[in-house]
Amino acid sequence: MIGGTLKKVQWTITFALAHCVSSARNYSSVHILENAFSNGFLFRQLFDSISYTHTYILADKLSKECVIIDPVLEQADRDVTLINQLGLTLKYVINTHVHADHITGTGKIKTMVNNVQSIISKESGAQADIHVTHGDTIDFGDQQLEVRATPGHTDGCVTYVNQGEGMAFTGDTLLIRGCGRTDFQQGDSHKLFQSVRKEIFSLPDHFRVYPAHDYHGFSHSTVGEEKLYNPRLGEQISEEKFVEIMNNLKLSLPKKIDVAVPANMKCGLQDGVPIEP
Ligand SMILES: N[C@@H](CCC(=O)N[C@@H](CSS)C(=O)NCC(=O)O)C(=O)O
């Protein structure tokens, strides 16, 4: 009875929101309602306020196996402490790409946790215990991440999709209301446009989008929201217009690029010792 009433309230809110947005933007519908995660899934989103990086911990509650995505060197102690406090066993340290703005926490975490393996794409050219390519899957307990190649910000960028929970970890490929820059590290605006359209916007609208960075205070978005409102990549933007936007960003280089890229090509580890600036 209570469940039924709650569902009715949920649908009323969804309908009202969809109506407001569609009236304002003249679109027919938008799927704003995000499904709840399943009971066996544990999820934490963390943030580094220096590099504006989001790091994610995903776990299977039953087996207690977990993975961490895009850890930052300076936050490795925080991340490992949290994993231990939650009673989880870290199986994989995963990167979406070779970051240019911060050193990955991968190397340091590998020295702090036994039997953990690092993962990055083969196309990145970076060192790691496991190299993945498009179509591979990463398993931890009953949870699974699908690897989708999304080049454009860098050649080796991938998006990790958790189909079961409706989540896409997009790295720097798709940011909330933005996207990764394409002016260094094999950046290519045409490739990025095609990656987003083919591999991310093809996911269901309610899938949550979790980027590696956010510079505007957002935590996450959805595929449907980004298709409507992303000012660079929204469905109304042509590839030609996107390339023009990207050619005129005029961003300064990341301050740590000269130390971060070489360190991250080694996944933050040199001869068993974490690479520190
Ligand atoms: N100011 C920061 C770097 C900011 C930056 O360039 N961010 C990248 C992702 S990290 S390589 C990016 O793609 N930004 C896109 C955008 O539109 O801002 C620093 O000095 O580290």
Q: What is the pLDDT of residue 254?
A: 98
Report yes or no on 32 lying in a domain: no
Task: Give the Cα separation of 156 and 220 in Å (integer).
Answer: 23
Q: Is the pLDDT of residue 2 over 80?
A: no
Q: Give mean pLDDT, residues 116-144.
A: 98
Within a 10 A sphere around the Cβ of 101, how many other Cβ atoms?
A: 20
Torsion of CA 83, 87, 90, 95, to 10 degrees: -30
Q: What letter does residue 114 receive in the DSSP assignment?
A: T
CATH number at residue 116: 3.60.15.10
Q: Is the pLDDT of residue 46 over 60?
A: yes
Mutate to test the pocket of ligand 1, among 51, 174, 181, 215 (most ligand atoms within 8 A of CB): 181
Q: Is the pLDDT of residue 120 over 90?
A: yes
Q: Is the pLDDT of residue 153 over 70?
A: yes
Report yes or no on 131 lying in a domain: yes
Report yes or no on 187 lying in a domain: yes
Share of the chain above pLDDT 70, in %: 88
Task: Answer yes or no: is the C-beta of 254 below 6 A from any ligand 1 atom.
Answer: yes
Q: Is the pLDDT of residue 55 over 60?
A: yes
- 275 within 8 A of 109, measured Cβ to Cβ: no
Work out how many domains the chain is built from and give that number. 1
What residues are paired with 69 via a beta bridge?
56, 94
Mutate to test the pocket of ligand 1, among 70, 101, 188, 261 (most ligand atoms within 8 A of CB): 101
Report yes or no on 269 lying in a domain: yes
* pTM for this predicted structure: 0.90
Q: What is the pLDDT of residue 35?
A: 85
Q: Is the pLDDT of residue 17 over 50?
A: no
Domain that holds residue 247: 40-274
Long-range contacts of the stretch 232-235 (C-beta < 8 A, 24+) = 232/178, 232/179, 233/174, 233/179, 233/193, 233/196, 233/197, 233/201, 235/201
- 263 within 8 A of 269, measured Cβ to Cβ: no
Q: Give mean pLDDT, residues 20-28.
A: 44
Task: Give the Cα separation of 119 and 156 in Å (integer).
Answer: 12
Q: Is the pLDDT of residue 76 over 70?
A: yes
Among 72, 93, 98, 129, which residue's Cα sits nearest to residue 277?
Answer: 72
Report yes or no on 15 lying in a domain: no
Q: Is the pLDDT of residue 136 over 60?
A: yes
Segment among 21-35, 69-83, 117-131, 217-231 with least mean pLDDT:
21-35
Task: Give the Cα separation of 152 and 58 in Å (integer).
Answer: 26
Q: What is the pLDDT of residue 34?
A: 82
Q: Which of ligand 1's atoms lies nearest the C-alpha of 178?
A: 17
Q: What is the pLDDT of residue 28?
A: 47
Report yes or no on 51 lying in a domain: yes
Q: Give mean pLDDT, residues 56-66.
A: 98
What residues are paired with 213 via a beta bridge?
53
Q: Give mean pLDDT, residues 48-58.
A: 99
Give the residue, by CA position, lying nearest to ligand 1 atom 3: 254
Task: Give the Cα separation of 83 and 86 in Å (integer).
Answer: 5
Helix or strand or coil: residue 123? Answer: helix
Task: Answer yes or no: is the C-beta of 180 below 6 A from any ligand 1 atom.
Answer: yes
Q: Is the pLDDT of residue 43 over 50?
A: yes
Q: What is the pLDDT of residue 24?
A: 45
pLDDT tens digit sequence for 167-202: 999 999 999 999 999 999 999 999 999 999 999 999
pLDDT tens digit sequence for 222-231: 999 999 999 9
Mean pLDDT over the full length of the chain? 92
- Residues composing the chain: 277
Report yes or no on 33 lying in a domain: no
Report yes or no on 186 lying in a domain: yes
Q: What letter does residue 104 receive in the DSSP assignment?
A: B
What band does 16 get if pLDDT is binned at 50, 70 and 90?
A: very low
- 105 within 8 A of 267, measured Cβ to Cβ: no
